[in-house]
Amino acid sequence: MPFTDAPPAGPPWDTPFAEVSFAFVDLEMTGLDLEKDRVIEICVERTRAGEREAFFSTLLNPEVPVGAQHVHGINEEMVKSAPRFAEVATQLQGILSGAVFVAHGAKYDADFLNMELARAGHEYRVTHLVDTLKLARRALGLESHSLHALCKHFGVVQQVAHRAEADVTALQIVFTRIVALLAPVSARDLWEVRTAERLARGAILAACETARAAGTEVRITYRPSRRKSEILPMIVTGIASDVDPPRVMGYLVTGRSRRELRADRILRVETPT
């Protein structure tokens, strides 16, 4: 499943951001083969406005060899009496339903989760998701955007790497820090933060159009290719929507030099207070 189609209209994707339920997910697997390997550990924490709504964390008996113990640190003895995925599938579906699925390298986790759901005879599937890897690549432009590298960048101490519960804790902190940089108005606005797709966020274009119509100064946070983000105090004079990606034109308040910005690289638009 490619997970590239836009999310359906309505909740949770078009709900105001502060009211959205997010399901933060991390899985550990016995290996990388979607057909042969199995989920060996799962953690899901569902939150809204930073408050926990539900939490689930368990080892799973994969019914196959546990695989790379040197990566996840899980041995055969630890999973011998753990539940099988089919025994927890209904509970997981209840936590995930109606929430926005968030993970790091999210397609990988969603593919394995969907495969396990299919094996367990459940019709529910994860069909849309938010990937903190993509968010980080657009917002930060670091040499590495692994979860470990992002934790280091933000000064987050990871208690244990490659264990589901510890990674979910780190994931939520990283997500919160990146969201602060992007200031999304909805989950759809966050989903539209893409890399290598030349997609301009609808909310960004709307904010620039409002600024153009008002003729007032805005502070545009912009990250050029291969560079760190910069804050540009600008007067927006035009938007070219007939090019790919759209461009935002204007001039800097200081110096009044002209600027033309790729709209897909604008991280946020603020009105000075």
Q: What's the predicted TM-score (pTM) here?
A: 0.95
Q: Pairing relation of β-strands 51-59 and 39-48?
A: antiparallel
Per-domain boundaries in the chain: 17-190, 202-270
**Which residue among 104, 128, 145, 162 is the active-site one?**
162
- Alpha-carbon torsion (30, 33, 36, 38), positive or negative: positive
Question: What is the strand order of the sheet 230-240 is part of?
Answer: 258-262, 247-252, 230-240, 217-222, 266-270
User: Residues 90-125: pLDDT tens digits?
Assistant: 999 999 999 999 999 999 999 999 999 999 999 999
For 95, residues 6+ apart whose C-beta sits below 8 A from its C-beta are: 23, 44, 46, 54, 56
Across the chain, mean pLDDT equals 94
Q: Tens of pLDDT along 118-164? A: 999 999 999 999 999 999 999 999 999 999 999 999 999 877 767 89
> Helix, strand, or coil here: 261?
strand
Q: Of 179, 158, 175, nearest to 167 (Cα)?
A: 158
Contact assessment for residue 212 and residue 247, using Cβ atoms and an 8 Å cutoff? no
As a whole number, mean pLDDT of residues 241-265 equals 96
Among this protein's residues, is 162 annotated catalytic? yes
As a whole-number percent, the residues of the chain with pLDDT over 90 amount to: 88
Residue 262 has pLDDT above 70, yes or no: yes
Q: Which CATH class is domain 17-190?
A: alpha beta
So what's the pLDDT on residue 59? Answer: 97
Using only the alpha carbons of the chain, give its radius of gyration: 21
Q: What digits encode the pLDDT tens for the residues 159-208?
A: 776 789 999 999 999 999 999 999 999 999 999 998 888 899 999 999 99
